[in-house]
Every structure is written in C-alpha cells, then in structure tokens.
Structure 1
Amino acid sequence: MLNVVGKVIILTGASSGIGEATAKVLASNGAKVVLAARREERLRNLKLALEKQGGTVEYKVTDVTSQEQMEELARFTIDTFGQIDVLINNAGIMPLSFLHEKKVMEWDQMIDVNIKGVLYGIGAVLPYMRKRKQGHIIDVSSVTGHIVRKTWAVYSGTKFAVRAITEALRQEEAENNIRTTIICPGGVRTELVNTISNEEIKKSINESLQIALPPEAIANSILYAISQPEHTAVNEIIVRPTKQEL
C-alpha cells in the first residue's frame, strides 16, 4: 500500500494541467485532497468527477497571490479534515518575453504567483506541521530553474528562487520531521503557453511541445515523492521528455 492513503493534501493550481492530473492520481490512491485555484466551475466539476470515482475531495477558491486567502485555505483544510499532511505549491504562470520588451506587469505577475504564492503557502501550513512535527511541502519548479535561455529570464528567475526557498526550508525544518521536495518538469502539455503574449515566442514554444510529456507524468512523480516512508525525503526530481535536450 502506498504511503498516501488517508493523507490530507492541499493542491494549488488544481483546475488544469499538472494540478488536475495530480488531483486525479492522489484521489484515486486514497488521499484526501483539497483543491485550490481561482476558477470555481472547474474546481466544482473536478470535485464531482473525483467523488464519483470514490475520491474524498473538497475545494476552496483561492488566489495564491493573497496571503490572507492562503491562510484561509490552510484553516479550511484543518476545519474540514483536522490536519495538513502535504502542501503542493503547483500554481504558476509563464508569460515569457524578451527583457527589452519591458513587460513589467507580466514580470510582477510571475513574481507574485511563482514566488510569493509559494512563500504564502509555506507560511500558511508550517505552523500546523511544526506543531505535529510532521509534514511534507512539495514545490513545483522547472528545468528552467536549473538552466536559463533567452526570453526565460524572469520565469527562470522565479523557478531558481523556488529551488532556493525549498532547499532553505529543508535545512530549517529537517529537525521537525518536515520533508521537502522540488519537482522540476521539462516540457509538459499544459495551459502555461496560453499566458505568453508574445506571439513569436508562443509559436516557438508550441512547436517544442510536440515532444512534451502529458501532465500525468509529473503527477506520478509527485505521487512517488509522497508515497515514500516518513524517514525518506525525495528532495528533488527532474522529469524531462526523453527527447528534450535542455
């Protein structure tokens, strides 16, 4: 039996892509999943679909860029299920652009979602995990948190930051038996491309996605990390399509 049955798991960015796939994998393996995203209709439909398959699922509309809403999400989970075993910080956006375009609003949005959203999630659940001396925080970074290419400057910067934050968290909370995992996907077929406003870049990314992985590949990696025994922490996983070079 996987070490995931009965675990209470908060999942941000749950309304599509990696988040939706992860919700399905976790619920089908016996986890109690709290779905979080901004699109309520998608959350409601996903909850209903998973419940029809026997899953235990709740949802709360949440904007990860709001510290207050992330704190409310944690309290909702405690009120509903009594504990928080795992947080998966999955929400993210990827509006790639050249720096000379000065798309400052997009820079700010990436920083708010990809960095602050992770920090707010960590801050919201840590008090409960520290009190129990138990927990697992999974942060979704990217292979671009390891390498940088043109047009990826700000996005890569946010994903490098996620890796740095998670590694510091690992060191700080190891004594409290809180595990950390960084998930670094390569090319995955998701809605992230839709956030790119530069049509030339979007076309290039869409072409590269011909070899991209289905979101389920990342969901299975997350399941693997969670399902390890409590004394084992899988600290980082990189998952690329076999044909992806960088």
Structure 2
Amino acid sequence: MTNNIENKVVVITGGSSGLGEATARHLSSLGAKIILGARREDKLQAIVNDLKAVGGEADYLVTDVTIRSDVEALVQKAIDAFGRVDVMINNAGIMAIAPMNALKVDEWDRMIDINIKGVLYGVAAALPVFEKQESGHFINISSIAGVKVFSPGGTVYSGTKFAVRAISEGLRHEVGGKIRTTTIEPGAIESELKHGSSDQGGAAAVKELYENNAIPADSIARAIAYAIEQPADVDVNEIIIRPTVQEF
C-alpha cells in the first residue's frame, strides 16, 4: 500500500522533534513530500537536510501555531513547493500537568492556544485547499488523556485533548465523503511533551510515568502511515496507542 503514501504532500506542525520529526522521517522514507512547521529553525533545517541527503523531498517554514497567519503560510509553502496538500497533520502540542488549585492559568491559556486553537488554525488553513482539490486528509493528534481524564493534574490538558477529539469528529461529519479525518490518541510516547510542566509535583509524576512506560515516537509514525496508506474510500477515524505496560 505504500503507493498511497508515495508522492503525497504532507504538512506537519510541531515538526522539529518527537512525534512530528519521527513521522516526517518515516513518511519521507515511504516517498511522501514533507513540509515541516515549528518554531525552532535550527532543528527544522537539520531534519530537512537529513531527508534530502537520502533523496527525500522536504522543506520547512518557521511556524507558531498560535498565529493563524503562520499556519496559513505553512500550507501555502506546501502549495508553492509541491502544488497541493494531501495530508495536514496537526501535531503541535504542550502538556502542563498541575493540580487545578495551583492556578497555573497562564499554562491553561497556553494549552488552549496550542492544543485547541492550533488545530483549528490547521483546519482553517487546509480545508479550503482540500475542498478545492476534492480530496485531503486531516490527522489530528489528541491523547489518551482525551479519552480518559488524567487527574489529578491533567484536568485542563485532558480538556484540550477531549476538544481535539470532538472537533475531529464534527469535522469528519461536516466535510463529506471526499476528505478523511483521523484522530490519534497516544499514551506515553518518548518526546519533549514530557518537559512541559513547571509544577514540581506534576513534572515528577510525568517523569515517573514516562520512565516506566514510554515507547518510541516512531510507534505513532507507523500508525499515521497506516491511516494515510488506506484506499481513498477507507477513513480510519480513530487510533488509540498505549505502551503495552501502561495502565492509564
């Protein structure tokens, strides 16, 4: 089925590390054309250089997903480079774990801006392109915490990830029969997500969870490839992936 990935143009937010980087590398190895967006240009450039060094086609644009015009420019970058967009992977995210009474309101705002509004900006940028093409595929990264509330500590984070699932399901219903929508819900996956907590207790809990459970980021990359490679009349809507040993 790799022909269903080969030559597809894939835009990935949060593409400078973790799930985004692993997905870019995996899909590129299967022949996809990659456009990466993230804030850290040095890391984006290094990944793109690696992909090109082994014959891949890739480019990047420095992107802050909390700025709608940045996300629009990222999608336009793909169109300018490759003429179309086939897959929009809304991957950028942040996880700040702390009890509600710690009142980390700035972190709540940041999670809402990145985890929810960042996904919406990705949808807003790519949907008109998909509708014009009469084809396209949204892949939105939620979390196991979007299936089961991670509390105490992850209540707001879970709220943002439940929102991603709701948005994805509503989007699937609204866009009709030619645009596909997939939500990925990872458990503990090795990435920089685990470093997002300023609360000492929250950070310690996350550190323990990941040390005892985490599996490599390419576990998610393979799941994303599975969803993309299906025939156009097959829409894989939701995939939950946990480490086998993870209880939560």
TM over 0.5: yes
- Which residue in the other structure is 1:201 paired with? 202
Matches within 5 A, 1:5-154: 5-148=6-149, 149-154=151-156
How many pairs align?
245
Cα shift at 1:197: 0.4
Answer yes or no: is 1:159 the counterpart of 2:157: no
Helix, strand or coil for the counterpart of 1:196? coil
Helix, strand or coil for the counterpart of 2:245? coil
Letter in 1 for 2:202: I
Cα shift at 1:202: 1.1
Helix, strand or coil for the counterpart of 1:244? coil
Measured against aligned partners, the alpha-carbon deviations of 1:159-198 in whole angstroms (never above 9, x if no partner) come to 00000000000000123x0000000000111111211001
Cα shift at 1:51: 0.9
- Which residue in the other structure is 1:174 paired with? 176
Cα shift at 1:101: 0.9
Helix, strand or coil for the counterpart of 2:10? strand
Measured against aligned partners, the alpha-carbon deviations of 1:93-141 in whole angstroms (never above 9, x if no partner) come to 0011111111111000000000000000000011110011100000000
Check conservation: 2:140, 2:168, Cα contact below 8 A: yes
- Which residue in the other structure is 1:215 paired with? 217
Letter in 1 for 2:187: G
Helix, strand or coil for the counterpart of 2:47? helix
- Which residue in the other structure is 1:190 paired with? 191
Cα shift at 1:211: 1.8
Structure 2 Cα separation of the partners of residues 87 and 139 of structure 1: 8
Structure 1 Cα separation of the partners of residues 176 and 186 of structure 2: 25
- Which residue in the other structure is 2:238 paired with? 236
Q: CA RMSD in A?
A: 0.8
Cα shift at 1:208: 1.4
* Unaligned stretches of 5+ residues in structure 2: none
Percent of aligned positions that are identical: 50
Measured against aligned partners, the alpha-carbon deviations of 1:7-32 in whole angstroms (never above 9, x if no partner) come to 00000001011111001001000000
Q: Which shifted more, 197-206 or 2-11?
A: 197-206
Structure 2 Cα separation of the partners of residues 112 and 77 of structure 1: 24
Structure 1 Cα separation of the partners of residues 153 and 89 of structure 2: 27
| Poorly superposed stretches of 4+, deviation over 2 Å | none
Measured against aligned partners, the alpha-carbon deviations of 1:48-89 in whole angstroms (never above 9, x if no partner) come to 011111111100000000011111111111111100100000
* Unaligned stretches of 5+ residues in structure 1: none
Cα shift at 1:36: 0.5
Check conservation: 2:98, 2:201, Cα contact below 8 A: no
Cα shift at 1:213: 1.1
- Which residue in the other structure is 1:224 paired with? 226
Question: TM (normalized to structure 2)?
Answer: 0.97
